[in-house]
Structure 1
Amino acid sequence: MNSYRCLPNKVLFGASPPTMAPTTTTTTTDTLCLNLQKLWLNETTADIHFVADNIRNESQLLPAHKCLLAVDSSVFYRRFFIDLEKESNIEICDVSAEVFSVFLSSFYQHKIAVTDRNVSDLIYLAKQYNAHNCMTQCEQFLKDKLTTENVCYAFELATVCNDMQMYRSCLMVIEKNFRRVLTTNGFLHCSHNVLKHILLSNIENRDEFALFEACMHWAKTSLERNNVEHNKMMDWRTELGECFELIRFGAMTPLQFMKCETIYPVFTTAELTEIKLRIISLADNGFQT
């Protein structure tokens, strides 16, 4: 991905006057980058403001510059310079002012303050606004600090960016900590795409019953997060969509599937018959205990 690159003075302002002492490219670039950082949250020079609530639920005004936002975000470029929207304040409702402030910093400096607490929100913003430097910084953070808590966020990033190295690293963490990953907030709030990739993976010794229960909890959480009314468990199955078909019910033990059938009444009569016959067949061949 392309991160923000400061341009030499002569590119921005034309050739330097002959009377000026010569400077190295490194010095010029460093100076420009430092000057650019000074514009972050600079109220005096701002021409656009974002409004978001901080952690104390107080409305906070975050100043920014349209031209700098447009450099690294095709969404902002279209909004400000193609659609020519005239608003002076843009309301932000889905993340806190603290997180959005860090997001804005990605347009003014190369390194930003990515943490375990804000990485998921920053990835969300980077995708929403197609902000390259923010996405790059989140990707690097997750590569350097891959844990059971953030592995699902990293997995999402790996699939979006087609980063096979990170993809394989994520699968290794998931396989090594399978049950634990299924209980994390990262899994509960992962995208349908990430859930599908986990279900399609050939993780050794994966607990199919634990995975099924985690998928049902994921579906319930997804419905609640999107404010969708769900009165019965069949709604959870509908939310899972094709992912439900990827669960290997035939790999469960008879006792495990009996629990599934009892706790989660989401199977048709034909499905119950087919799955039970498959389990019995595997047990007869010594694959189940």
Structure 2
Amino acid sequence: MDKVKIGDVSAAAFKEFLQFFYFGQVKLTMGNVAAVMNLGEKYNVAECLAVCSKFLKNNLCEDNVCRHYGLAILFNQHELKKACETVIGLNTTAVFHSNGFLTCDRKLLAEILKLDWMSCTEIELFEACMSWVKATGKQDNLTKELVQTQLGQLFYEIRFGSMALDEFTALVPTNGQLFTNTEYTDIIQSITNKEFNAAMFNGNREKRCDLDPWNEKNEIKCIRFSSLRYSTKPYFLKNLETTKFTTNEPLLLKSIGLDVIKRYSSGKYINCEDVPTAITIVEVSGSDDFKKEVEKYNGKANMKSSDFISVKMPKPILVKPGFMYEFRLKQNPPKYCAIGGLLKSEVQVDNGITIQFHDDPLIPDDITSTGLIYKLRFYRIGN
């Protein structure tokens, strides 16, 4: 039998590709996904590329987003590319401190410098580029020659014209040797004269951090009410109430909705005073024995009898499959303060996206869930 030698991929990766090609199944890992994508592209199997792209999107984080972004660009995966750009823009500082950024190639850095929206100042972007130069050039000290060797023309894509004059001059004591007199002149004129057309540097003066990227994002509402009626058996508020949820696709948590509170007396729900509440959102991973918690939000709100309360995140929180997200609400409720809303434990929100709630308290003598969080609002990531 004739043998066909395939030299650009490992046997294990090719086996996974064949599993998908013949049986529609593939076991992807961070170690083999790039090779499987390469085979999907090589043999024009678009479905394989789509499965790999979804795998990468579901596993996005600040540490790996640069690698995933590179794969999205290489294999022309639009939705994954947009998802990566959202994560880079949302958590820019963390991305810039990641090993994935410091070890990315110049082509990928060029794509990052093209992004109009990042949650950082242009000074922070400049400093990140200098850290990249040091890491790539394996040098601790910056020189003009090193910057030119590593960055080349990318040095001129930094928007110095978007800086204030005092911001740029603050860079000079440490980085003054990186600029020629001609470059100094170009930058100073760009900053001080808005009519000046920069001859050397990027003439875009728009601050990347001032853009609002959320206007174009698709919003998803997860409304948990299973009935408009109140339970005849109230759930009395405790000092600590928790709501836990997981998602099967990455989303950006925009806000949470708190149910109304009432005082339950003589079989009736009646109004009561506001209840100040401290809200913490925690990302939980690992097993019970090796649990890791990362705080994502800490804030305050007043629960009311008169209305539902919406608590908006200062910036959206990336929630990912494979993690548990826990809302912890601390308060000192008055006697007989209760909630009576009947809530779903699972909500199908959009195109196969499922929000699953865990360990909710139950209405007494009932199988119906209750809780303070009745609504979650998300942005879709990647489109």
TM-score bracket, shorter-length normalisation: 0.5 to 0.7
Pairwise CA distance, 1:102: 5.6
Give the letter aligned to residue 99 of structure 2. Answer: N
1:267 has 2:179 as partner: yes
Q: Secondary structure at the match of 2:178?
A: coil
CA separation of 1:143 and 1:206: change in aligned 2, threshold 3 A? same
> Whose strand proportion is higher, 1 or 2?
2
Residue 93 of structure 2 corresponds to 179
CA separation of 1:161 and 1:104: change in aligned 2, threshold 3 A? closer
Correspondences of 1:25-40 after superposition (within 5 Å): none
Residue 149 of structure 2 corresponds to 238
Distance (Å, rounded) in 2 between the aligned partners of 1:190 and 1:125: 21
Distance (Å, rounded) in 2 between the aligned partners of 1:183 and 1:124: 27
Distance (Å, rounded) in 1 between the aligned partners of 2:140 and 2:35: 24
CA separation of 1:125 and 1:275: change in aligned 2, threshold 3 A? farther
Residue 129 of structure 2 corresponds to 215
Pairwise CA distance, 1:209: 0.7
Residue 106 of structure 1 corresponds to 16
> Whose helix proportion is higher, 1 or 2?
1
List runs of 5+ in structure 1 lacking aligned partners.
Answer: 1-65, 77-99
CA separation of 1:105 and 1:262: change in aligned 2, threshold 3 A? farther
Pairwise CA distance, 1:142: 1.0
Question: Could you tell me whether the CA contact under 8 Å between 1:187 and 1:218 is conserved in 2?
Answer: yes
Correspondences of 1:33-112 after superposition (within 5 Å): 67=4, 70=6, 75=8, 103=13, 106=16, 109-110=19-20, 111-112=26-27
Correspondences of 1:79-228 after superposition (within 5 Å): 103=13, 106=16, 109-110=19-20, 111-115=26-30, 118=31, 123=34, 138-203=52-117, 206-224=120-138
**What percentage of residue pairs aligned between the two structures are identical?**
29
CA separation of 1:167 and 1:151: change in aligned 2, threshold 3 A? same
Structure of higher RCO (CA pairs closer than 8 Å, 6+ residues apart): 2
Question: Could you tell me whether the CA contact under 8 Å between 1:102 and 1:112 is conserved in 2?
Answer: no
Pairwise CA distance, 1:107: 5.4
Give the letter aligned to residue 246 of structure 1. Answer: E
Pairwise CA distance, 1:231: 7.9
Pairwise CA distance, 1:179: 1.5
CA separation of 1:135 and 1:185: change in aligned 2, threshold 3 A? farther
Pairwise CA distance, 1:140: 3.5
Residue 44 of structure 1 corresponds to none
Distance (Å, rounded) in 2 between the aligned partners of 1:197 and 1:248: 15
CA separation of 1:213 and 1:101: change in aligned 2, threshold 3 A? farther
CA separation of 1:233 and 1:155: change in aligned 2, threshold 3 A? same
Distance (Å, rounded) in 2 between the aligned partners of 1:254 and 1:166: 38
Residue 11 of structure 1 corresponds to none
Give the letter aligned to residue 185 of structure 2. Answer: T
Distance (Å, rounded) in 1 between the aligned partners of 2:112 and 2:85: 8
* CA-based RMSD: 3.8
Distance (Å, rounded) in 2 between the aligned partners of 1:149 and 1:229: 23
Distance (Å, rounded) in 1 between the aligned partners of 2:36 and 2:99: 18
List runs of 5+ in structure 2 lacking aligned partners.
Answer: 21-25, 195-205, 208-383
Residue 254 of structure 1 corresponds to 165
Pairwise CA distance, 1:211: 0.8
Distance (Å, rounded) in 1 between the aligned partners of 2:142 and 2:193: 35
Pairwise CA distance, 1:277: 2.1
Distance (Å, rounded) in 1 between the aligned partners of 2:96 and 2:142: 24
